[in-house]
Structure 1
């Protein structure tokens, strides 16, 4: 074989390795067969997969799917990351409406997807900035308490709509927050006692 052919084969093998073994969010992990009554939202929520990713991976131009249709499902968060995120939501959004719980989970996912923050749920939740944990439940130990069912459901919903919100990266309670810095951030939405911002 000539050097050119060998070089081309090495390049192709490298590309296959990157595609096959990468950790990209859109990497196919399994195939799902659509059942009667399914919707992309329901499939996304059940499997913790963003609807936009489902559409993109499966080259769908609309939300229409049909029983028997095969859909590729991308990797989602591990069960331990989902549990950790649900525990954070339980601790941070105790007493908040369901939409507020979804929004808290969304903030963490937005941070994972933002280049200015760590790129995993665990690293975002346990991030230390200027000597302080990013989330108070990590500092006070509330993160170690079990998640409630509503928070687990909120995490699944946040995953299904990942990337479709207002881009919130922060949340705070204006009645209890002592950080003047946080008040300078652009408000995206107010839900319950929390203000969300970016």
Structure 2
């Protein structure tokens, strides 16, 4: 009988812990006047597409007082790593170029030909070299500025809505003919973006 009581108590504790954890895993946002799916997406660092999907929305209409479930997002350490890459890769570039650099990393995470996490994409090696120069030369270790963090937030909200850029390069310094042969999606500042 004691074993049965102990088992029941353990089960109850486990269930309480599991359901409490499950409940706290979902963030609920109450829509305020003047907000849009875009501003909410940027605030939480989630894509508009995922926010709509999570809340079974076919359009972008939201109303004050409406409660939205916020999908999970990247971890603070992944956000920091991505912001440091953006800072190192796009220093001196326009804000749109910084967003595009972060978008390339996110597109790679979502693409079947690349690793599945931000960390793995950024530290990917091929032919003895890292995919991104700042990883190779150590600039990835420098702290990111606020604009780089904002660019990451914008890229997260924009995730899945762009033109699918998977690469970027500076045409003045890039030596790879293979990279130059890729279809260009956009040119921003000193960077050419391609897929």
Partner of 2:186: 189
In the other structure, the counterpart of 1:72 is: 69
Q: Distance in 2 between matches of 1:29 and 1:102?
A: 27
Higher fraction of helix: 2
Is 1:100 the counterpart of 2:110 in the alignment?
Answer: no
Task: Specify which of 152, 162, 166 is matched with residue 165 of structure 1.
Answer: 162
> Residue 55 of structure 1 corresponds to which residue in structure 2?
52
Distance in 1 separating the partners of 2:164 and 2:127: 24
The answer to whether structure 1 residue 121 and structure 2 residue 157 are counterparts is: no
Structure having the higher Rg: 2
Measured after TM superposition, the shift of residue 61 of structure 1 is 2.1
**TM-score with structure 1 length normalisation?**
0.85
Q: How many residues align?
A: 173
TM-score by length of 2: 0.86
Indicate the larger mover: 141-150 or 62-71. 62-71
How many angstroms does 1:56 deviate by? 1.4
1:40 aligns with 2:11: no
Q: Which runs of 5+ in 1 are unaligned?
A: 1-19, 22-27
Question: How many Å separate the matches in 2 of 1:57 and 1:74?
Answer: 6
Aligned to 1:154: 151
Q: Secondary structure at the match of 1:190?
A: strand
Alignment RMSD, CA only? 1.3
What CA distance in whole angstroms lies between the structure 2 residues aligned with 1:86 and 1:138? Answer: 13
